[in-house]
Amino acid sequence: MTAGQAGPATERTGRIERGADWIEVSTIGDLLVRSARRHPQRAALVLPGERYTFAELHRRARTVARGLLALGVRPGERVGLLASNSVEYVEGFFGISLLGAVVVPLNARHRASELGYIVEHADLRAVLTTARPDEYVDFTEILRAGLPSLGAAPDPGRLELAEAPALLSVVLLSGADRPGCLDRARFDELAAAEPDAAIDTLRSRVRVRDVAAMLYTSGTTANPKGCMLSHEAMTRGPVERARYRLGTGEADVTWAAGPLFHIAALAPFLGSVGAGGTFLTDVHFEPTRALALLADERATVAFPWFPATMQPLLDEPAFDPSRLDALRSMFLIGPGVLLERVQAALPDCELVAACGMTETAGIYALSDPDDSAELRASAQGKACPGIEIRIVDVETGADAEPGVVGEILVRGYAVMEGYYKDPEKTAASLDDDRWLHTGDLYSFTPEGQVVFHGRLKDMLKVGGENVAAIEIEAFVARHPAVEWVEVVGRPDPRLDEVPVAFVEVKAGHLVTESEIIDFCTGEIARFKIPRSVHFVASSDWPRSATKINKNELRARLAALGTELPTS
């Protein structure tokens, strides 16, 4: 078979749950318009101490759209959005979409140089940001560092920056008096001069296959890449899941802790809006506040996604499973010991397994409701409706048999259109038959479920043996003193590379390097046993928006400059 073919033994397709026999596809703007018409007074967005109805979000988003139009932004042009989870973020996101422009969510953790690069590379026409006095990040300061001439710009409504020639304005959706930035009061004045009907006209012209958003992927070894996603990619799967697969199937209350600039939180947020539900979030994750919000609002669906979020919730003294009895489904990826603990605490909540990535607008494979707890703890489900999956041999490109680890390929409506202004990287990721080569390692179970084995770059080559880092991590995580573990490869003169573990120890426990190595001895193959263990404090993990940065761990390892004996 060629790379573009998939035989019946390897192609996996999903099924729509709960009787949805047809497909509905919407633009992002229409998600909000529809819910505002159907449920105007229903709470759409809730943060601690703040509540906003669909009608209010729609009104605020239309104001943003009119303001951008007044500044000179036109459909198809790109607008950056730099803010914490907040009503300003939401009104900015939908305001850009109502206009028919392209949303470019900017990572609040990016350095100034990265933001400056993205503003110029994406040809941003405007940047929407905030300047609240209580913000933990001064976004305008970072923007001025990344765009050195911004602070001295004489007219914030008509910028002319050498480092970002396309940029018209940096707009404050909250706050005032920031050099080079257009105040909200002035922005609203400009918006008032634009006819409201113009927004409806422009919104009606947007096609579902137009690019809706451009998310820049983490740039750990090079500049970030602008991943172009269509309206269909951004809305279809999240809304289908919110309506037919998750929670109660009614007006669900969905909680996500992650930042809305990341697809892991953005996708369920769009699904909640499209299904007319209520979305819960916060400006930052704090376990006590999160648990109170989940309990007080009777959340039915939760997206903690990763152990870095779930573990602090479980360890929080205020954690009381009886106050979370409304939960019906939870998306969680992690080691079996964590999943077992969560399921024991919340026996009536389905732990949903899934896999996804930015380039597929989030989830592309999902577990079934009737999967056993054991299967959901070890596999990540089957392809979502409308999505095709293949797993191929890394060396030959041939379809892999069940149980054989290979690279997972994805094709379907959710796959990106490509990387903005980067045909070489696009061609390297998308083949002629529109299969996305993900760089992730998976295998099929005999039943057709996919099992994650780590990133292709996380596959260690130890003395000629392929070793998935995640396999070692899963075993070490079972040590009673281990809170979290990450494994990377260290160059070795005889074996090419050997595994090394970075370990966070549970509070109140003590463990030594030799004890962890002894724990592995005789239980896993000798070449898989970590050759050294480095202990990391909870606050000292190098993190991206949602994950631990293994490239930084490798850099730390190299900086240690110590060579242990090899065998």
Q: Is pLDDT at 17 greater than 70 in this prediction?
A: no
Cβ burial of 535 (10 Å; 0-12, 13-18, 19+) is: middle
Of 74-78, 274-278, 438-442, 459-463, minimum mean pLDDT range: 459-463
Q: Could you give the CA distance from residue 249 to residue 50 in angstroms, rounded to a whole number?
A: 25
Please state the rounded mean pLDDT for residues 184-193: 97
pLDDT for residue 562: 47
CA 69 to chain centre: 29
SS3 category, 219 = coil
- pLDDT band at residue 222 under the 50/70/90 scheme: low
Q: Is pLDDT at 332 greater than 70 in this prediction?
A: yes
Q: Residue 231 is inside which H or E element, if any?
A: helix 231-244
- Homologous superfamily of the 231-413+423-455 domain (CATH): ANL, N-terminal domain (3.40.50.12780)
Please state the rounded mean pLDDT for residues 531-554: 84
Backbone angles phi, psi at 533, to 5 degrees: -130, 130
Dihedral in degrees, nearest 10, Cα atoms 445, 451, 456, 461:
-70
Structure tokens at 567: 């065998």
- pLDDT band at residue 6 under the 50/70/90 scheme: very low
Among residues 511, 529, 512, which one has the least CA distance to residue 520? 529
Q: Could you give the CA distance from residue 560 to residue 563 in angstroms, rounded to a whole number?
A: 9
Q: Is pLDDT at 444 greater than 60 in this prediction?
A: yes
Under 8 Å CB-to-CB from 130, ≥6 apart: which residues?
Answer: 82, 83, 84, 86, 88, 89, 139, 172, 173, 174, 175
pLDDT for residue 8: 31
- pLDDT band at residue 20 under the 50/70/90 scheme: low
Q: What is the mean pLDDT of the chain?
A: 90
SS3 category, 452 = strand
Which strand ranges, in their side-by-side order, compose the sheet holding 124-129?
A: 169-172, 124-129, 78-82, 102-105, 211-216, 226-230, 418-419
CB contact at 8 A, 292 and 275: no
pLDDT for residue 437: 96
pLDDT for residue 544: 65
- pLDDT band at residue 567 under the 50/70/90 scheme: very low
Please state the rounded mean pLDDT for residues 62-84: 98
Neighbouring C-beta atoms of residue 305, cutoff 10 Å: 24
Q: Could you give the CA distance from residue 345 to residue 11 in angstroms, rounded to a whole number?
A: 36
Place of tokens 């389905």: 350
Topology (CATH level 3) of domain 46-227 = Rossmann fold (3.40.50)
Sign (positive/negative) of CA torsion 480, 485, 487, 492?
Answer: negative
pLDDT for residue 565: 39
Q: Residue 295 is inside which H or E element, if any?
A: helix 287-296
Q: Could you give the CA distance from residue 139 to residue 119 in angstroms, rounded to a whole number?
A: 14
pLDDT for residue 345: 96
SS3 category, 502 = strand
SS3 category, 91 = helix
Q: Could you give the CA distance from residue 537 to residue 60 in angstroms, rounded to a whole number?
A: 43
Which strand ranges, in their side-by-side order, compose the sheet holding 450-455?
A: 387-392, 406-412, 436-444, 450-455
Whether 231-413+423-455 and 46-227 are alike in CATH topology: the answer is: yes
Query: What are the Cα distances from residue 110, in Å, to 86, 171, 217, 317?
Result: 19, 19, 11, 33
Name the packing angle between helices 231-244 and 263-274 (round to 10°).
70
DSSP letter for 136, please.
S
pTM assigned to the model: 0.83
SS3 category, 62 = helix
Domain boundaries of the chain, sorted by first residue: 46-227, 231-413+423-455, 463-560
Please state the rounded mean pLDDT for residues 405-415: 96
Among residues 125, 31, 32, 124, which one has the least CA distance to residue 70? 125
Q: Residue 513 is inside which H or E element, if any?
A: helix 513-520
pLDDT for residue 137: 87
The CATH code of the domain at 463-560 is 3.30.300.30
pLDDT for residue 7: 34
Please state the rounded mean pLDDT for residues 303-308: 88
pLDDT for residue 464: 66
pLDDT for residue 1: 24
Alpha-helix runs per DSSP H in 124-227: 139-146, 184-192, 196-204
Q: Could you give the CA distance from residue 227 to residue 72 in angstroms, rounded to a whole number?
A: 24
Please state the rounded mean pLDDT for residues 439-454: 91
